Amino acid sequence: MNLEDLRQLRRARDVMDRDYAEPLDVPALARVALMSPGHFSRSFRAAYGETPYSYLMTRRVERAKALLRRGDLSVTDVCFEVGCTSLGSFSTRFTELVGESPSAYRARSHGPGEPIPACVAKFLLRPVRNGEAKAPGRP
């Protein structure tokens, strides 16, 4: 993969990071990366080790976790707030990445993690699929 392709993929990834709540799909992201949808999907997976959809859903679940910790929104409201259109799909993906349902996550106490700086919390609390290898130094 050449550097120009990586630069274009990073542009698309930045759009997912910034606009995760918008209705993003592979053709739209491929346009940002100036690639065909098929080439974009294959290149993204090769560069980042996951599909564009998986990356986007991980961003959405990260944001959903923060909203659920606040406790002032329902799971349904959080689902739509982070850009998901199906509560069932959101709950399934959330459970897959976090290891518990959004309702269970919302219901439990989150007090001890509050003083952790956001940059550390983002690394430590990033959702990963059950069974995936964990990063070094990660619980």
pTM above threshold 0.85: no
Indicate if 80 and 110 belong to the same structural domain.
yes
Place of tokens 């399934």: 92
- For the record, the structure tokens of 101 come out as 């349902």
Nearest CA to 62 among 135, 119, 134, 131? 119
Q: What CA–CA distance (Å, rounded) separates 99 from 3?
A: 36
One domain for residues 26 and 73 = no
pLDDT at 135: 47
In three state form, how does the secondary structure of 18-51 look?
Answer: HCCCCCCCHHHHHHHCCCCHHHHHHHHHHHHCCC
pLDDT band of residue 109 (cuts 50, 70, 90) is confident
**Amino acid 88: pLDDT:** 94
Q: What is the pLDDT of residues 8-67, one digit of tens each?
A: 999 999 999 999 999 999 999 999 999 999 999 999 999 999 999 999 999 999 999 999
How many domains does the chain divide into? 2
- Domain for residue 43, yes or no? yes
Query: Based on the domain organization, do 70 and 43 belong to the same domain?
Result: no
Q: Is residue 131 part of a domain?
A: no
- Residues 66 and 43 reside in one and the same domain: no
Indicate whether 66 and 45 sit together in one domain.
no
Q: Are residues 72 and 115 in the same domain?
A: yes
Assign 70 a pLDDT band (cuts: 50, 70, 90): confident
Query: Looking at the domain assignment, is residue 133 inside a domain?
Result: no
Mapped onto helix, strand or coil, the DSSP state of residue 98 is helix
